Structure 1
Amino acid sequence: MTLPNLTTTAAVMAVFSAFFLAQHNDAREIGNPPSAVSLADQQDAEAMASREWAGQQACGPHATPEWLDDKTLRCLRNLDDGVSLAGGRP
């Protein structure tokens, strides 16, 4: 008569284990949300990376993008060599 008791005990332990595992997973997901500050910092970093990528795509490889405001982009031409405007002293 010990076999049904062992089987019942194993089944009850399996059910409780599954229940506690589900509770643990829910507590990890719901109980520890990312802070609003870290989430905002992450979104700002992603926005800046996206803006830099968009500027490079719009200006091309021979210009440097400069954002004047949220919607205004200016492309500054890259110079290969320095330009001498006046003779100057050596």
Structure 2
Amino acid sequence: MTASDRVAIVGASMTQFGQREAWIQELLAEAGLECLEDAGADASDVDHLYVSNMTSGEFEGMTGVMNALAHDIGAMPAYTQRVDQTSSSGG
């Protein structure tokens, strides 16, 4: 395996459960920044972002959540991709 073939999850986070007044973009940024902190990484270390959320377009009219996340955490120009897996993608 070469360095370019390796993939690693080096940090993890999730937002608080319950009813919140925040929009999806704010929730993603909150979790994304906490992931970077957990990993001890800087946003410039991020090469790829994968976001799984199936209903942001339907409920909030926002379909580019992965690009917004890259912008909001300062990870531009990271490659972004949305991955939908029906109900396992979350709301």
Q: What is the TM-score when the length of structure 2 is the normalising length?
A: 0.22
> Which structure would you say has the larger RCO, counting Cα contacts within 8 Å and 6 or more residues apart?
2
> Larger helix proportion, structure 1 or 2?
1
Normalising by structure 1, report the TM-score.
0.22
